[in-house]
Amino acid sequence: MDAKNKVLIFDTTLRDGEQAPGASMNDEEKMEIAFQLERLGVDIIEAGFPVSSPGDFKAVQRVAKHIKASIVCGLARCIKKDIDAVYEAVKKAKRSRIHVFLATSKIHRQFKLKMDKAQILQLAVDSVRYAKKKVDDIEFSPEDASRTEKDFLYSVIEAAIKAGATTVNIPDTVGYAMPDEYGRLIGDIKNHVPNIEKAIISTHCHDDLGLGVANSLAAVRNGARQVECTINGIGERAGNASMEEIVMAIRTRGDHYDGCFTGIKTQEIYRTSRLVSKATGFIVPPNKAIVGQNAFRHESGIHQDGVLKERTTYEIMQPEDVGFTLTNLVLGKHSGRHAFKERLKTLGIALNDKELDKTFERFKKIADKKKQVYDDDLLAIVADESKLIASAWELVDLSIISGIKISPRATVSLAHKGKTFDKTSSGDGPIDACYKAIDSIVKVKGELLDYSIQSVTHGKDALGEVTIKVKFKDKSIIAHGASEDIIIASARAYVNAINKFLSQNRLSE
């Protein structure tokens, strides 16, 4: 493969993706995602916006310290304190990048920045030069580039490269551009910026009109060699260009993209998608391209017949190419601890002895009730058990009395620091009664903002996975719980939310 045709994948899930309303993640979740992005083969991880908060600074710093294979990047406005914050956050990274941005479009100059073209140009140059004194790898983004006058855009890009930018990103900040228009813009930049060969052209496309992926791919066709994107396409407003769709389009239609390729290990895509979905609470729609549950299912008899005879009749990708393992039966109730540990290792999960014991015990209980245990079941069990922390509340027992003509009543037993606490409460439904009983024991009252449930695999004995968003005081917490019983899954999710809230409170004290 020709190196000049490699398309770098710049993942901004931890920065722009987290800006999606309700998608904020804690440090542990960010680190877990960062490690998975590294395993996925992402070239650049934009870990956050360090100056925005002490928490974001620490999260970027932690990612920079532990990630070795990917470049770790932080975002900065063209302000010295922002650039200083990024440098301090990423300086311990094996490879680091400072990403500076400045709006250039007329509407932004006039209403947001209140600056003229000369001021914008000078500020861009000064900021890139200042950042260049700190690290060698500098990316510059003229925000709202797709609505910026072309001659001015060319001038800013040329000046930024001359000042030391090694990557120039062309953001379609509000998702305004059309694919042919945006592709032509990239081509025009290549033809009109004299020193453009000294930098990589990048794209950053939002999905307001549903064209984020199409615009990014049009840019690749016209010479862009870095794409900024997020897992599951999450991000502000309607989101960003979806990484998995871009990567698989380039892989599947390399002929159309003149031999372009990425370094992404595509077999890790599904697992990464699921991890981000769990951390953010954003459920992936079943019809989502590449990673949706229906992406490789065939309902039509004609389609089923064709696939059975020759898969390529209706499948342009193999499910295993993106890491789908839904049909892969792995373990049963007779499976031993060693087989369990080896399967988790295959899935990229490493647990210490204590975690393994606890998770294996949970697996055996589920395996006694389910005839078939799938990889997704294992991932749900591990994710559920990993939420339990030292000195946390733990669900011990739960019983429900409910019916059409009686008021639902729940009796809950929770363990905490070696002691067990019991409480019975009534509610509008069994889950409401359960949550009220938990509130009474823990003495922390949460307000349920959102609740959803989906099956982890299929079949009547499938695990149910509950995702909730709960508000405690001024904090909104996303948590999950899994069980073959949806009431128990709901209780687990609520206890996990409480543990998460209490843990965050301790860390902030």
The tens digit of pLDDT for each residue in 249-279 reads 999 999 999 999 999 999 999 999 989 998 8
Does residue 372 surpass a pLDDT of 70?
A: no
Does residue 328 surpass a pLDDT of 50?
A: no
Does residue 130 surpass a pLDDT of 50?
A: yes
pLDDT category, 303, cuts 50, 70, 90? very low
Q: Which of 289-322 are b and which e, b meaning 16 or more Cβ less than 10 Å from the residue's Cβ?
A: ebbebebbebeeeeeeebbeeeeeeebebebebb
Does residue 341 surpass a pLDDT of 70?
A: yes
Please give the CATH topology (third level) of the domain spanning 3-280.
Answer: TIM Barrel (3.20.20)
**Gap between the Cα atoms of 22 and 76, Å rounded:** 23
Tens digits of residue pLDDT in 196-216:
999 999 999 999 999 999 999
What's the pLDDT score for residue 324? Answer: 80
Does residue 218 surpass a pLDDT of 80?
A: yes
pLDDT category, 327, cuts 50, 70, 90? very low
Does residue 412 surpass a pLDDT of 70?
A: yes
The first and second tokens of residue 498, run together, are 């409480």
Average pLDDT over every residue of 406-422:
94
pLDDT category, 350, cuts 50, 70, 90? confident
Residue with the bigger pLDDT between 345 and 125: it is 125
Single-letter amino acid code for the residue at 327: T
What's the pLDDT score for residue 310? Answer: 64
Any idea which of 114-118, 164-168, 380-384, 391-395 has the lowest mean pLDDT? 380-384
Does residue 308 surpass a pLDDT of 60?
A: no
**Among the ranges 19-33, 62-76, 318-332, which has the highest mean pLDDT value?**
62-76
**Which residues sit opposite 10 in a β-bridge?**
44, 228
What's the pLDDT score for residue 305? Answer: 54
**Which residues sit opposite 483 in a β-bridge?**
464
What's the pLDDT score for residue 355? Answer: 81
What's the pLDDT score for residue 329? Answer: 44
Residue of 340, 342, 386, 329 lying closest to 363 (CA atoms): 340
**Gap between the Cα atoms of 262 and 247, Å rounded:** 7
What's the pLDDT score for residue 207? Answer: 97
Domain boundary assignment for the chain: 3-280, 325-386, 394-508
Average pLDDT over every residue of 131-154:
98
What's the pLDDT score for residue 137? Answer: 98
Chain centroid to CA 291: how far?
13
The first and second tokens of residue 379, run together, are 């991932």
Tens digits of residue pLDDT in 24-58:
788 888 999 999 999 999 999 999 999 999 989 99
**Gap between the Cα atoms of 239 and 212, Å rounded:** 8
Angle, helices 375-386 vs 337-346, to 10°: value is 90
Average pLDDT over every residue of 278-297:
86
What's the pLDDT score for residue 508? Answer: 52
What's the pLDDT score for residue 312? Answer: 66
Does residue 509 surpass a pLDDT of 60?
A: no
What's the pLDDT score for residue 330? Answer: 55
pLDDT category, 300, cuts 50, 70, 90? very low
What's the pLDDT score for residue 476? Answer: 86
CATH of domain 394-508: 3.30.160.270
- Indicate whether this model's pTM tops 0.85: no
Residue with the bigger pLDDT between 301 and 34: it is 34
What is the DSSP code (8-state) at residue 229? E
**Gap between the Cα atoms of 433 and 430, Å rounded:** 5
The first and second tokens of residue 176, run together, are 């305004």
Tens digits of residue pLDDT in 424-472:
999 999 999 999 999 999 999 999 999 998 887 666 667 888 999 999 9
Average pLDDT over every residue of 234-249:
96
Phi, psi angle pair for 400, to nearest 5°: -125, 135
Q: pLDDT > 70: what percent of the chain?
A: 90
Average pLDDT over every residue of 145-152:
98
Average pLDDT over every residue of 140-164:
98
What's the pLDDT score for residue 304? Answer: 46
The first and second tokens of residue 441, run together, are 């024991």
Average pLDDT over every residue of 337-364:
80
Give me the sheet containing 475-483, strands edge to edge.
Answer: 447-455, 464-472, 475-483
SS (H, E, C) 375-431: HHHHHHHHHHHHCCCCCCCEEEEEEEECCCCCCCEEEEEEEECCEEEEEEEECCCHH
Does residue 100 surpass a pLDDT of 90?
A: yes
Angle, helices 375-386 vs 353-369, to 10°: value is 130
**Gap between the Cα atoms of 205 and 230, Å rounded:** 10
Residue with the bigger pLDDT between 414 and 475: it is 414
